Structure 1
Amino acid sequence: MPSIDAFADRLSSYLGPEDQVNLVRRAYYYAEQAHDGQRRRSGEPYVTHPLAVANILADMHMDHQSLMAAMLHDVIEDTGIAKEALTAQFGETVSELVDGVSKLTQMNFESKAEAQAENFQKMAMAMARDIRVILVKLADRLHNMRTLEVLSGEKRRRIAKETLEIYAPIANRLGMHSMRVEFEDLGFKAMHPMRSERIRQAVKKARGNRREIVGKIQESLVNCLAREGMEGQVLGREKHLFSIYKKMRGKRRAFNEIMDVYAFRIIVDKVDTCYRVLGAVHNLYKPFPGRFKDYIAIPKANGYQSLHTTLFGMHGVPIEIQIRTREMEEMANHGIAAHWLYKSSEEEAQKGTHARARQWVKGILELQQRAGNSLEFIENVKIDLFPDEVYVFTPKGRIMELPKGSTAVDFAYAVHTDVGNSCIACRINRRLAPLSEPLQSGQTVEIVTAPGTRPNPVWLSFVVTGKARTHIRHALKLQRRSESISLGERLLNKTLAGFDSHLDKIPQERIQAVLAEYRMEVFEDLLEEIGLGNRMAYVVARRLLSSEGEGVSSAPSAEGPLAIRGTEGLVLSYAKCCTPIPGDPIVGHLSAGKGMVVHLESCKNILDIRHNPEKCIQLSWAKDVTGEFNVELRVELEHQRGLIALLATSVTAADGNIEKISMDERDGRISVVQLVVSVHDRVHLARVIKKLRALKGVVRITRVRS
């Protein structure tokens, strides 16, 4: 570890004014004094850690304020020095950076996962104020990973898992390839030491066997550039251990298959030369069809730029080649930290990797505001830290970057939240396609919207992006709340009507007293609880009608059943055990958290609670009930050719629709067919059954109930 003097000499080579180097030196001495007497697990003085973190940032040519924050990043947390003291000593910018990097104070979380999620949320907030926070945090984590061997096995694995799940993807998202590779290899070594060592030994052995072929390919590439009169540097590229392990596991390929590919990087002076070199190497060796990618014209989401191609080399060996400029090489290795532009003009900060990084952080904050809790937030962020992208076009030709596996719904939410919420269909390359179809790079996607539509809960089963998932959940929560309030109000008014009263007749003071009793602030919260089945309308009605100290002694008078319209939405569902349809005698079972479940009066599953007014409520179908309802039929008929086609034709002729069909052969002559048919009401069902009875060979039709 270099001393502070050696470090200061190193800084003077790229940090301009001498006073900036002196400020970094002063921060080091302040940290040394603050951590006096503290030691790391390895036995070294604690101040060696902040100095090592600053060294990592100096490798990336970071500015003096980031280096000062690196020196001081543990001062607030570990030494009891207040943030205000740092502000007085080093200014507000540095103290804000240090505060952003400082971990959460020890709080009593339910689990380690929740603590990690809260920690990351705090970091996201700090990143939004100043993106350098994440760079200092990544450098801090990198040095901790390099010195992991002094910790116990369990702690090593926990830190390595967190690094592989969160910090390595963040480094990748910010385009910091070198740091990501080191995170992954160190994390892999800590999680699976034996596997890591086996692969390392195999790579070492293979390197010796491959040396001759690598030399020949490199020589042929150098000669090719010389013949064409182009200057460029040809480098052999080593695959890192974790990527080999991932390919072996994910693609189920043997080590030899992965090592059979030879990888090279050609670095040139300008963009124009990249394309000329591409033409030259395609002329030298034949390219693999469909394996060419132009990340210069369409950069990756993290700002990475390069030309990728795969060639059939000598003796048919595959050669992977990346062609890029020196600036692109710097950007690929250090990403957002390359040529730090923090003090540069606003115009420069609006483009390139910085703009992308800020856009990503903005997206993270949006996820945070919409997420229900910290664990949901971190789940969405992990989804969003994707390694691969697909590039699709809007109808006007704008390029959209989405994670691999994204669907039209992800695309709609990426365009705008309102487009996502009101999406009903999509066209991919001008043809109508299912919303769940995964998108491919190069496709043009058009979203069809309709006013007043709402997100479908089914979308959650196929969306990929964190933004889509969070906004769908948020919209469904709002929809569920408004529907719960509406149902809760109807249930409460129905119960109050039994006591010859109504919500409008209840004095405001009494409502406030009941809210205080239930520890709620607004009356809508209480109505929502009733609608969701968490509180009984009967009990709440009695509380509202009772004066202070007295209860309502009289039982409610008989009141007409509550009418079901079929448009109640998420808080009203139909029992799958007895599948009620309009026209059937029904009751409602109030189920905690689910709202109301509609059953047939004769359903066996509610016989025990059928007459309990706190759990069941008498229901009826409204005259204007709308919608389609599923009902299960059991059809016994003589076995004949084209059986399924005959049944389908009959159901369709009665304006019904088959949702599901299955067949069991009972014996040689009789077949039993289970049909799930969607109908409007009992009259419609009778029409469907009549059509089915008219079929030749039908023995019996029964409606399946619990």
Structure 2
Amino acid sequence: MDAQGALRAGAQAASDEAAAPVAAASAPVAPTVEDLIRQVHAYNPRTNADLIRRAWAFGEAMHEGQLRKSGEAYFTHPAAVARILAEQRMDDATIVTALLHDTVEDTKASRAQIEREFGPEIAELVEGVTNLTKMQIRSDETRQAENFRKLFMATSRDLRVVLVKLADRLHNMRTIRAMAPDKQAQKARETMDIYAPLAGRMGMQWMREELEDLAFRVLNPEARASVIRRFLTLQGEADHVIAKIVEDLRELMAREGIAAEVTGRAKKPYSIWRKLQTKDQAFSRLSDIYGFRVIVATAADCYRVLGAVHQRWRAVPGRFKDYISQPKSNGYRSIHTTVAGRDGKQVEIQIRTHEMHEVAEAGVAAHWSYRDGVRSENRFAVDPARWIAQMTERFEDGADHNDFLEAVKLEMYQDQVFCFTPKGHVIPLPKGATPIDFAYAIHTRIGHACVGAKVDGVRVPLYTRLRNGQMVEIITAEGQTPQASWVGIAVTGRAKSAIRRALREEDRERFIKLGAELARVAFENVGRKATDKALRTAARAMGFEAADDLLARLGSAEITARQVVRVLYPDLAQRPGEEVEEARAVVGLSPDQAYARAPCCQPVPGERIVGIAQRGQGVVVHAIDCPALARYEDQPDRWLDLHWQEGTHRPVNTVTLEMTISNGPGVLGRVCTLIGEQSANISDLSFVDRKPDYYRLLVDVDLRNAEHLHRVLTALEAESQVSSVARHRDPRRSEQSAAPRP
């Protein structure tokens, strides 16, 4: 099926997911064990067919009488998981584990029985999958963090356990429509937050994209349908552009005498949606919708292709990445470039060898891939043990589960940039990293002593975002200690954890005293006393070794007093529906300090913030990424580490949205209705530009928090008459015009 046909089918599915049950007479015949054996035999002629038959028979017998939510026999699920792994050319042990992965958890079978029947290797793999299944990763942050740590530590024994679990989740997401709506939402959120980025980090990009799109279908079906409809409209206008660009590339390769395989494909709806949310680009930019791939024989040919493409079409500045000379940690190698191709449209092209392509498709799983009955010898495949060690070594010493969760999520979600030390050593960092991250990546001691940085010989602020290939020199000084504002500037989990740990140790006594006072007031507000016994009990319930540890975290604003009260007296703590007082919306101010939101960045609850003290005029609160903060880089004494009060905020936080809408009857009214449907109020509206076919306007909307803002933006983005919508931030607005709230 071509891209247009696939997306047309997706649009139909998005508009009518609940298809009528198919009559039993017309149902397709379920695959058999012989079908699976033929699939494995195609890439591994030496497969142990008898082992697979015995595992199939054992699993089928153990699950006999069990049904899935859809009414199908339960064993259809393990069989489907095995076929998914066979598509990845996995070894016999992994295929058999897939067939048996639910037997210990859901049937009378035991680990000892599995070991007797199939050997210790398979028994250990099945037990590993069973333990991962028991973890039950949930949305609760503390439990999720703890389980995430266990998941990563479990993988250090055998990564195939995670490969089976990912295939298990993929099949469950493919068949999720049979589950209750609340269970669908829970599983989809887990998939989006945990399993999809994990698959991506392991290099299995195809699985990440499919998992994301299946979760997107559950979590935001209207947005997905909108993307598909808009794509089909563009596809009709572009007139089969994929085939034309593929033909252009093939003709170019033939003229250059390069033997190459050229393919093109449309990106998944969620991938397109994510780009629309994160990049200020029009939907019709082809580089965000289509991907083209050129696969050649050698690395030298890759660079020949790159030269030919850049000679034929104009390269787009800033859209070139060479992952051949600087591979990703999961072994991924490829050249990415974007050019202004046919009719001036921007086109993304990936160039790689066949070996590189195998790793790009299978990721870390390429280590187990088989070809012609033997394990593939792919020099680019990463040793799973080394990969896992890189992912876990920096987190083993940390005692804070939430630090670990934040760090691992950043590790999995972020792409990488590669910077150099003055001596030429390469330091890989997540995209968006700063000189502070660079310093801590070298050594914690260097990070603690950092007072400045030079990038390519030029002194830059510490919040500067680093780019590929830059040379970074860290300036240190004796006696320097980490600043509280660094937590918001740093990106890597390693840097954040080290900074927080240093701040806690340095200010521990002061924080304990402050935490004790905060606890006293919070307990008195509910008619209780913050006794030593009460604080020790709360500390144990929240995972701290001693009451002083809890008070130190409370004083450093890492937890709130209401959280402590809620642990002991859940019925007396603030109800979810109660609103945070506007005067107490920001935590970290002294009792006599007033505050105001900076009009240049308009921060809202839920976003990371920092305060700038205005002499005699209170404190102005900025978003941590506000460009206006640059002018205070040399005035650290004016910076305050702030955060928003936990709870429900009133819809009084005005945010300006910039929109481009069609100039048609009723369009503006529809936009206003959409905003109102999200329980948001329009406080002002002005037109920036009026054209015969469109209007550009600024709309001031009163919101509760960042989540409320996201809902409004999502609703507007999904409207077909809204061609673009984004948050409007004006650095020309002076914070001096902000009136601090008492």
Match of 1:692 in 2: none
Q: Could you tell me whether the CA contact under 8 Å between 1:168 and 1:180 is conserved in 2?
A: yes
The within-5 A match list for 1:15-54 is: 15-18=44-47, 20-54=48-82
Q: Could you tell me whether the CA contact under 8 Å between 2:90 and 2:369 is conserved in 1?
A: no
2:88 corresponds to which letter in structure 1?
M
The within-5 A match list for 1:279-318 is: 279-318=307-346
The within-5 A match list for 1:88-167 is: 88-103=116-131, 112-167=140-195
Match of 1:327 in 2: 355
1:472–1:259 distance in 2 versus 1, CA, 3 Å: closer
SS of equivalent to 1:54: helix
1:251–1:432 distance in 2 versus 1, CA, 3 Å: closer
1:475 corresponds to which letter in structure 2?
A
Match of 2:94 in 1: 66
Correspondence 1:270 to 2:311:
no
Q: Which has the higher contact order (CA 8 A, sep 6+)?
A: 2
1:81–1:386 distance in 2 versus 1, CA, 3 Å: same
SS of equivalent to 2:395: helix
Write the distance in 1 (CA, Å) between the matches of 2:374 and 2:437: 34
TM-aligned CA deviation for residue 22 of structure 1: 2.4
1:413–1:342 distance in 2 versus 1, CA, 3 Å: farther
1:368–1:147 distance in 2 versus 1, CA, 3 Å: farther
2:70 corresponds to which letter in structure 1?
S
Write the distance in 1 (CA, Å) between the matches of 2:138 and 2:80: 34
TM-aligned CA deviation for residue 276 of structure 1: 1.3
Match of 1:436 in 2: 463
SS of equivalent to 2:163: helix
Write the distance in 2 (CA, Å) between the matches of 1:288 and 1:657: 39
2:162 corresponds to which letter in structure 1?
I
1:79–1:452 distance in 2 versus 1, CA, 3 Å: farther
SS of equivalent to 2:319: coil
Deviates most, 262-271 or 186-195: 262-271
1:228 corresponds to which letter in structure 2?
E
TM-aligned CA deviation for residue 388 of structure 1: 2.4
Match of 1:625 in 2: none
1:267–1:474 distance in 2 versus 1, CA, 3 Å: same
1:10 corresponds to which letter in structure 2?
Q
1:411–1:62 distance in 2 versus 1, CA, 3 Å: same
Write the distance in 1 (CA, Å) between the matches of 2:437 and 2:553: 33
Match of 1:13 in 2: 42
Match of 1:86 in 2: 114
Correspondence 1:364 to 2:392:
yes
1:85–1:342 distance in 2 versus 1, CA, 3 Å: farther
Q: Could you tell me whether the CA contact under 8 Å between 1:15 and 1:64 is conserved in 2?
A: no
1:336 corresponds to which letter in structure 2?
V
TM-aligned CA deviation for residue 258 of structure 1: 4.6
Write the distance in 1 (CA, Å) between the matches of 2:287 and 2:226: 14
2:475 corresponds to which letter in structure 1?
V
RMSD over aligned CA atoms reads: 4.2
Match of 1:200 in 2: 228
Q: Could you tell me whether the CA contact under 8 Å between 2:202 and 2:330 is conserved in 1?
A: yes
TM-aligned CA deviation for residue 183 of structure 1: 0.9
TM-aligned CA deviation for residue 479 of structure 1: 4.2
SS of equivalent to 2:405: helix
SS of equivalent to 1:425: strand
1:487–1:173 distance in 2 versus 1, CA, 3 Å: closer
1:158–1:443 distance in 2 versus 1, CA, 3 Å: same
Match of 2:486 in 1: 459
1:574–1:348 distance in 2 versus 1, CA, 3 Å: same
1:158 corresponds to which letter in structure 2?
Q
1:32–1:118 distance in 2 versus 1, CA, 3 Å: farther
Write the distance in 1 (CA, Å) between the matches of 2:324 and 2:115: 43
TM-aligned CA deviation for residue 182 of structure 1: 0.8
Map Cα deviations across residues 130-153 of structure 1 (whole Å, 9 max, x no partner).
122221111111011100110122
1:149–1:305 distance in 2 versus 1, CA, 3 Å: same
TM-aligned CA deviation for residue 61 of structure 1: 0.7
Map Cα deviations across residues 426-469 of structure 1 (whole Å, 9 max, x no partner).
33223333333221222111223456654333221111112222
Match of 1:684 in 2: none
Write the distance in 2 (CA, Å) between the matches of 1:424 and 1:40: 60
Match of 1:56 in 2: 84
SS of equivalent to 1:448: strand
SS of equivalent to 2:463: coil
Write the distance in 2 (CA, Å) between the matches of 1:147 and 1:633: 62
Equivalent residue for 1:391, pick from 406, 414, 418: 418
Equivalent residue for 1:245, pick from 273, 284, 289: 273
Map Cα deviations across residues 521-572 of structure 1 (whole Å, 9 max, x no partner).
9xxx8895799699xxxxxxxxxxxxxxxxxxxxxxxxxxxxxxxxxxxxxx
Identity between Structure 1 and Structure 2 (%): 41
TM-aligned CA deviation for residue 241 of structure 1: 0.9
Match of 1:415 in 2: 442
TM-score with structure 2 setting the length: 0.62
Correspondence 1:4 to 2:61:
no
1:533–1:115 distance in 2 versus 1, CA, 3 Å: closer
* Paired residues, number: 522
2:500 corresponds to which letter in structure 1?
R
TM-aligned CA deviation for residue 109 of structure 1: 10
1:463 corresponds to which letter in structure 2?
A
Match of 1:602 in 2: none
Map Cα deviations across residues 643-695 of structure 1 (whole Å, 9 max, x no partner).
xxxxxxxxxxxxx99959xxxxxxxxxxxxxxxxxxxxxxxxxxxxxxxxxxx
TM-aligned CA deviation for residue 63 of structure 1: 1.2
1:98 corresponds to which letter in structure 2?
V
1:458–1:336 distance in 2 versus 1, CA, 3 Å: same
Write the distance in 2 (CA, Å) between the matches of 1:189 and 1:437: 37
Equivalent residue for 1:255, pick from 276, 279, 283: 283
Map Cα deviations across residues 208-234 of structure 1 (whole Å, 9 max, x no partner).
443454444333322222222221122
Write the distance in 1 (CA, Å) between the matches of 2:143 and 2:245: 51
1:362–1:287 distance in 2 versus 1, CA, 3 Å: closer
Match of 2:23 in 1: none
The within-5 A match list for 1:500-649 is: 528=548, 577=592
Write the distance in 1 (CA, Å) between the matches of 2:637 and 2:68: 69
Q: Could you tell me whether the CA contact under 8 Å between 2:364 and 2:382 is conserved in 1?
A: yes
Match of 1:377 in 2: 404
Match of 1:469 in 2: 496
Write the distance in 2 (CA, Å) between the matches of 1:314 and 1:127: 46
Write the distance in 1 (CA, Å) between the matches of 2:503 and 2:114: 45
Q: Could you tell me whether the CA contact under 8 Å between 1:128 and 1:358 is conserved in 2?
A: no
Write the distance in 2 (CA, Å) between the matches of 1:165 and 1:21: 37
Write the distance in 2 (CA, Å) between the matches of 1:255 and 1:427: 38
Deviates most, 149-158 or 222-231: 222-231
Q: Could you tell me whether the CA contact under 8 Å between 1:310 and 1:319 is conserved in 2?
A: yes
Match of 2:431 in 1: 404
Map Cα deviations across residues 75-111 of structure 1 (whole Å, 9 max, x no partner).
2222253333333333333223222222568799997
Match of 1:652 in 2: none
Q: Could you tell me whether the CA contact under 8 Å between 1:484 and 1:530 is conserved in 2?
A: no
Q: Could you tell me whether the CA contact under 8 Å between 1:163 and 1:187 is conserved in 2?
A: yes
TM-aligned CA deviation for residue 249 of structure 1: 2.6
